[in-house]
Amino acid sequence: MTYLVKPKLHHPTLARNEAGYTRRDYEGKISTLCAGCGHDSISAAIIQACWELDIQPHKVAKLSGIGCSSKTPDYFLGNSHGFNSVHGRMPSVLTGANLANRDLLYLGVSGDGDSASIGLGQFAHSMRRGVNMVYIVENNGVYGLTKGQFSATADKGSKSKRGVANTDEPLDMIGLALLLGATFVARSFSGDKTQLVPLIKGAIQHRGAAFIDVISPCVAFNNHPGSTKSYEYVREHNEAVNRLDFIAERDEITADYAAGTMIEVVQHDGSVVRLRKLALDYDPTDRIKVMNYLQERGAAGEVVTGLLYVDPQAEDLHENLNTVETPLNQLSERELCPGSVALERINASLR
Ligand SMILES: Cc1ncc(C[n+]2csc(CCOP(=O)(O)OP(=O)(O)O)c2C)c(N)n1
Ligand code: SF4
Ligand SMILES: [Mg+2]
């Protein structure tokens, strides 16, 4: 938490988006994270994506748990709704808010400790329920806020700052998200804004559970030789399967890619995620093949990044529950409560 508010004044000629906002209108308070922390780059990417998509700040709800990563919603979208929940409990708070008001864009921001340790059960159920959200894990392999203990995503054999090797098997958030039915699954690196911004834009326009695992080095506790979550290690082992362009529904689609090296995924709202294939045989629409590919490349020591899996026709929790189009928080008591006669009928049918 910070109380340092950025000066509101900005240059009158700053570019405005279609919604009439400058990029600065999507910023938050001044970050108190360590200089060079990957999490700050992810905040910048979120700001960029929301500005470019002309999102109305008051139509966003950002939710988080506890950790340096979970502090970051204070540093972006200062004019949006926000709720900093309990450690590991962000997914259930987000699910409840989403059920009450389906009209907002839900942005869940969490850490590897928050989502892969204490909040693992919560993470799992929000994925399998297909909650319409963008769920970002800022993955640094450690509990940064509590001084750098290994988290559940730390690779076996990777070393702590003091040189102690981790003896536990790592938990792969991407593999889990795929297994649990997430319908937009991506991995990226906080140091690669060119890849991360279109991924966030694609996830925002996706209907269903969109999960992005962003490797985000902790410069204070996990950026040394022997770490597999350092800037140097990720840069050396990064294998991108595709490069993305995100094209909003209103934008013209121009064809400037060679046929056979590009696929276009049209999402339900008409937006297009255009993927330039780097691994030519990679098909991000085949869940089983993606899971096999990631296991194989992971065993070879590669950190595979890009849009790994997408189901453009995904159904979300509201569709599965057959809820009304009007957000529940806008319905009157008369519409929400069927009344005592209906209740009596239901009770009678159960006797
Ligand atoms: C119930 C509970 N248990 C433990 C803690 C202590 N704690 C605070 S943050 C944290 C881990 C944060 O790690 P992560 O989610 O990876 O965030 P990072 O700081 O690395 O970004 C822990 C264990 C807590 N705040 N609440
Ligand atoms: S301790 Fe690590 S995760 Fe926390 S702000 Fe510093 S660099 Fe970032
Ligand atoms: Mg962490």
Instruction: Answer whether 243's CB lies under 8 Å from 309's CB.
Output: no
Q: Is 43 in the pocket of ligand 2 (CB under 6 A)?
A: no
What SS3 class is residue 75? helix
User: The pTM is what?
Assistant: 0.95
Instruction: Answer whether 2's CB lies under 8 Å from 74's CB.
Output: yes
What is the H or E stretch that residue 45 is in? helix 38-52
Q: What is the pLDDT of residue 104?
A: 98
The ligand with the least distance to the CA atom of 33 is 2
Q: What is the pLDDT of residue 5?
A: 72
Tens digit of each residue's pLDDT, the chain (351 residues): 556 677 777 888 999 999 999 999 999 999 999 999 999 999 999 999 999 999 999 999 999 999 999 999 999 999 999 999 999 999 999 999 999 999 999 999 999 999 999 999 999 999 999 999 999 999 999 999 999 999 999 999 999 999 999 999 999 999 999 999 999 999 999 999 999 999 999 999 999 999 999 999 999 999 999 999 999 999 999 999 999 989 887 776 665 556 568 888 898 888 888 888 888 889 999 999 999 999 999 999 999 999 999 999 999 999 999 999 999 999 999 898 889 999 999 999 999
From the list 169, 155, 281, the residue with the least C-alpha distance to 226 is 155
Residue 164 token pair: 């102690």
Residue 226 token pair: 């022997």
Q: At what angle do helices 90-100 and 120-128 cross, to 10 degrees?
A: 30
Question: Which distant-in-sequence residues (6+ apart) come within 8 Å of 231 by Cβ?
Answer: 38, 191, 217, 223
**CB burial class (10 A; 0-12, 13-18, 19+) of residue 248?**
middle
Instruction: Answer whether 169's CB lies under 8 Å from 144's CB.
Output: no
- Tell me the pairing of strands 133-139 and 105-111: parallel
Q: Is 42 in the pocket of ligand 2 (CB under 6 A)?
A: no
Mutate to test the pocket of ligand 1, among 39, 63, 66 (most ligand atoms within 8 A of CB): 66
Q: What is the pLDDT of residue 329?
A: 95
Helices and strands (DSSP H and E) totals, the chain: 12, 13
**Distance from the CA of 85 to the center of ligand 2, in angstroms?**
19
Strands of 262-266's sheet, edge to edge?
242-247, 272-277, 262-266
The ligand with the least distance to the CA atom of 2 is 2
